[in-house]
Structure 1
Amino acid sequence: MPGQREHDAFAIALQPIHDADHRHVADRLLYRHHGEGVDDPVAATARALATAIYELDEGRRLGTRELIIDLPTEWLERSDLLPSPARQMIIGLARDLPLTPELMTTLEQLRERGYRLLVPAPELRGSGSRLAPLADLVRLRHPDELDADQLRALRQGRTRLLAEDIRDPDRLERFRALDCHYFDGRYLAEPTFYDARPRGRHGNRAAQLRLINELYREDADLQRLFELLIQMPHLHVAILRRANSSLFGQRDQQADLKRAMQVIGLNELRRLVMTLSLASDMPSSRLKVRMALVRAFMCRNLAAPFSNIDPEDAFTTGLFSMMGPLLDEAQATLLAELPLNAPVARALNSREGHLGALLTLCEEHERQVADDDLAPDRLQQCYLDALDATDALMSRL
């Protein structure tokens, strides 16, 4: 629909930031909306963070570089949602901030947690001078934006300078003469924007609310969280991507949701879920989820008699055989990005191996059920048990 296309026309870019030796040391997160304006700054920022941190493939991610994020005041009030690790994040403050005692306390707490603050140079004048002790970086858009005394005070406090709006070689040299530490690479090339993945409406709002409630319980139950997340395909994929990012340094690729949840930990799981929820980033219908779960449980049931087949691999094979349709993405492209082990990948891509045979049996049985054909007793029982397991799981929502 036209309205949906406008809503989905959202793109981000990671603008390179280099140091005085032209090394690419950081990126600045930029985002834009091609359709109607985004009225909610919290949702817009969540959308950008969701794409940059949880969606980009490993080749486009930050790696160990720092990320500069310009945050609206409304987002600072939700500091529990800030991405990790803090040492890698630089928070850009907006101009004309209302420097209330509450905001100053929030900024101090962010620095105590390890986040660094980027302050526009004009904000250091007048009452904004209170920000100077909290500024780890100062953004300069003109070489004359600060006078000699202000620059001297910043250097003594070990505050670094970020040069922006570099229009020509002359201005670049003037910034260099100020001993700027960082330079916005936009003067070398315009940023390349990446389209965010299409967004849709989540088909089970009740499950989403229960998930958030469970996440913030003091005695959050991993099994309960797993049962909720397994029904939310986009979150499932995002957790796998996050667990296998360079941030967590896993030697073995994690394809199992429960293990991936343990790798990233509860706090990171909260950030991921809340960011994607604010970004309205969970596009699947309850009916499709039910079909995928039935297939997954059936694959696991069929694997039970065979000691050489991992039942969890069988479950993953069944579930991910429908992940593309669940997320409205090309199945082959999605599978190429996911950290699936070799037997699961072969089963999904070409129906090879023991897992491929189980998946083929499930698919053939689904066609028989649709055509009202009778199936062998063993196969039919596995299917009926899968229906019961799926209904039991989804009824708890």
Structure 2
Amino acid sequence: MQGSAQEETSTGHYTIAIQPIVNAQLHHVADELLYRGDFSAGTAAVFDDVQATARACAVAIYEIGLDKLCGQRKLFINASGEWLLNPDLDGLPKEQIVVEVLEDTAVSDALLTALRQLKTQGYTLALDDFELTDANRSLLALADIIKFDISTGLPKALIQRLYQDGYTLLAERVETYEEFEQCKALGFSLFQGYFYQRPQVQTTKTQRHSTSRANQMQLLAQLYSDKVRLPALSTLIARDPYLLNAVFKRANSAGKASQRPAYKLMDCIHIIGLKELRTLVSIVMLAGNNPASKINLTSGLTRAFACEALAEQRGLDEEEGFIAGLFSHMPVILGIDLDAMLQELPLSQTIHQALTLRQGRLGRLLTDIEASEQGSTSSDVPAELMLQAAAEARALMDTHIS
């Protein structure tokens, strides 16, 4: 469990801690990933669950690297409902990650669908600080590991039933050897707590000064385009030292690398693949101050696909249409000012004028699409075009969940 919500200043000094998880023979078999607002923090100060998980994953996977952090051991990560529903965050290394559903996660049909998809992909699912209720009963059918915070008591009847049903039981906050023995006698096979080791804060030398929102937005436009151009992706990644370092580390990690190390960026991109590259970029963006929500991103993609289709009908550059549509919605997606965004964004004059003044043929196209979004009907923008764009956006998001 990460911790309670409270205010935190964004200093960029955040890091992680890991706490060992041991088996009944006291062998160190897994670790839980914990977010820390700074190096001296003894506990988490979480004001945004999604951002905290994004930052923790960025440090663990792309800065330190799982090889160095935990070797071949499993790594438990805390996942809120919003995190689980985010379509760009399912490319984490499934062979090593245990997705830990937080105890306050609201259960919905959408959440259950997302968890089923994660299970289908091969992820291990754990339920954190479990207390059985009518609301969360449906989660049991999807869980592999059930965690109990023993400091709040031991519901022995429930524990016995889950043990008999074949679940792996993990006792959390085990403070003494006597508690360890008591839990082992009840059927627990995994244990975590001060009796073995306190969380260990990890240090990283990676500098985080370089992350450019403009560069990341261009990357998103490329990554979500139907016509992904790897040379353009390579150029954008090379401009951002943080992303560049993350890509090389991930491509050369034990879980990805071939027999020969990858020294070229294009080779690294091929090794990682577009799906995980979307995940990596999204995690880096979410590790900043402006998390992009699924709803806003879907709306932005709908506009982008609509602009792309209308550009084709009107004989305009389709890629410029897609980029204009997506970037016109970026202030909403990322919570930033359009003028500030454009100051560091090297866009063509055509796209710039379309975004700021709605001038030119591309500007008129964008105006027409925005009017259609507000319910205006026009023979120039058929209703079918908008419906098809929305379907494409939803399909793209669903594809990245599956």
Q: TM-score range by the shorter chain?
A: 0.5 to 0.7
1:30 aligned residue (34, 37, 41) = 34
C-alpha contact (below 8 Å) 1:199/1:280 kept by paired residues: no
Counterpart residue number, 1:247: 255
1:13 aligned residue (7, 14, 17) = 17
In structure 1, distance between residues paired with 2:209 and 2:9: 10
Counterpart residue number, 1:96: 104
**TM superposition shift of 1:178:** 1.5
In structure 1, distance between residues paired with 2:247 and 2:34: 23
**TM superposition shift of 1:195:** 3.8
C-alpha contact (below 8 Å) 1:87/1:114 kept by paired residues: yes
In structure 2, distance between residues paired with 1:271 and 1:58: 16
TM-score, normalising length: structure 2: 0.63
In structure 2, distance between residues paired with 1:100 and 1:243: 35
Q: 1:100/1:395 Cα in 2 relative to 1: closer, same or farther (>3 Å)?
A: closer
2:236 aligned residue (228, 251, 257) = 228
Q: 1:211/1:59 Cα in 2 relative to 1: closer, same or farther (>3 Å)?
A: closer
Deviation string 1:36-64 (CA, Å, 9 cap, x unpaired) is 95533222211110000011056633332
Q: Which moved more, 1:74-83 or 1:121-130?
A: 121-130
1:134 aligned residue (142, 147, 151) = 142
Counterpart residue number, 1:190: 198
Counterpart residue number, 1:256: 264
**TM superposition shift of 1:112:** 2.0
In structure 2, distance between residues paired with 1:256 and 1:395: 27
Counterpart residue number, 1:123: 131
Q: 1:122/1:18 Cα in 2 relative to 1: closer, same or farther (>3 Å)?
A: closer
**TM superposition shift of 1:153:** 3.2
Counterpart residue number, 2:95: 87
Aligned AA for 1:9? H
**TM superposition shift of 1:242:** 0.7
Q: Indicate the SS of the match to 2:17.
A: strand
In structure 1, distance between residues paired with 2:129 and 2:46: 27
Choose between structure 1 and 2: higher helix proportion.
1
The aligned length equals 280
Q: 1:122/1:252 Cα in 2 relative to 1: closer, same or farther (>3 Å)?
A: closer
Deviation string 1:135-181 (CA, Å, 9 cap, x unpaired) is 21111222953233x33432343210011111112111101102212
Q: Indicate the SS of the match to 2:83.
A: helix
Provide the alpha-carbon RMSD of the alignment: 2.8
Q: 1:124/1:248 Cα in 2 relative to 1: closer, same or farther (>3 Å)?
A: same
C-alpha contact (below 8 Å) 1:89/1:116 kept by paired residues: yes
* Unaligned segments of structure 1, at least 5 residues: 282-393
Aligned AA for 1:200? H
Counterpart residue number, 2:278: 270
> Which has the higher Rg, Structure 1 or Structure 2?
1
**TM superposition shift of 1:201:** 5.8
**TM superposition shift of 1:275:** 0.8
Aligned AA for 1:26? A
Q: 1:87/1:153 Cα in 2 relative to 1: closer, same or farther (>3 Å)?
A: farther
1:64 aligned residue (60, 65, 72) = 72
Q: 1:71/1:57 Cα in 2 relative to 1: closer, same or farther (>3 Å)?
A: closer
TM-score, normalising length: structure 1: 0.64
Q: 1:129/1:147 Cα in 2 relative to 1: closer, same or farther (>3 Å)?
A: farther
Q: 1:122/1:272 Cα in 2 relative to 1: closer, same or farther (>3 Å)?
A: closer
* Unaligned segments of structure 2, at least 5 residues: 1-7, 290-345, 352-402
Aligned AA for 1:25? V
Deviation string 1:309-335 (CA, Å, 9 cap, x unpaired) is xxxxxxxxxxxxxxxxxxxxxxxxxxx
**TM superposition shift of 1:215:** 0.8
C-alpha contact (below 8 Å) 1:9/1:195 kept by paired residues: no
**TM superposition shift of 1:68:** 0.5
Deviation string 1:232-284 (CA, Å, 9 cap, x unpaired) is 22111111111111111322222211111111111111111111122139xxx
Aligned AA for 1:41? D
**TM superposition shift of 1:65:** 1.6
